[in-house]
């Protein structure tokens, strides 16, 4: 299986929109406008389907991407036939849901946020305001966690 064959099929599908190919495990995934719609597995070109598509067009040959796969895909028997290729991939693009947006990575807390959540700088953590015996172990624990967060770069370097 070569990336040149995957790129060849991507070029044939360009009339449908922005097409790109990405390697996914041991197969190539074909995306149209950022939606995954097909796979090139060895020499076989497969089009993603869902239950409604398979029910609506039962005459199209189906094959599973791998042993144990739950959903069969359409097998493109004549991938050189651009009209057939465009028809199958257009159906997939129109009938498959948009991929879920990727979750953004959790932003790192600023030092001020860490301090405010830890209790440091709060009147509750000040002995002169609250008295020594009022300070709870939770405040001490939070203070230690805040100290760790603020000093983690130095600790990692050691």
Do 74 and 8 lie in one domain? The reply is yes
User: What is residue 128's predicted lDDT score, i.e. its pLDDT?
Assistant: 63
User: What is residue 31's predicted lDDT score, i.e. its pLDDT?
Assistant: 95
Tell whether 46 is covered by a domain. Answer: yes
pTM: 0.62
Tell whether 105 is covered by a domain. Answer: no
- Domain carrying residue 62: 3-95
Could you tell me how many residues make up the chain? 158
Tell whether 106 is covered by a domain. Answer: no
Do 44 and 90 lie in one domain? The reply is yes
Residue ranges for the chain with pLDDT beneath 70:
1, 111-112, 114-142, 153-158
Do 8 and 77 lie in one domain? The reply is yes
Do 89 and 124 lie in one domain? The reply is no
End-to-end CA distance of the chain: 47
The tokens for 23 are: 């390697």
Do 18 and 82 lie in one domain? The reply is yes
Tell whether 104 is covered by a domain. Answer: no
């Amino acid at each position: 299986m070569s990336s040149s064959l995957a790129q060849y099929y991507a070029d044939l599908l360009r009339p449908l929109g922005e097409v790109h190919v990405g390697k996914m495990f041991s197969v190539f995934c074909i995306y149209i406008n950022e939606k995954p719609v097909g796979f090139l597995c060895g020499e076989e070109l497969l089009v993603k389907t869902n239950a409604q598509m398979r029910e609506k067009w039962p005459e199209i040959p189906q094959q599973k991407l791998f042993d144990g796969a739950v959903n069969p895909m359409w097998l493109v028997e004549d991938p050189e036939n651009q009209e057939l290729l465009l028809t199958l991939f257009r159906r997939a693009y129109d009938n498959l849901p948009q991929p879920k947006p990727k979750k953004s990575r959790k932003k790192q807390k600023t030092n001020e946020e860490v301090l405010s959540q830890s209790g440091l700088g709060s009147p509750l953590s000040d002995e002169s305001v609250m008295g020594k015996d009022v300070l709870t172990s939770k405040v001490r624990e939070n203070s230690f966690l805040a100290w760790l967060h603020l000093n983690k770069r130095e600790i990692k370097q050691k």
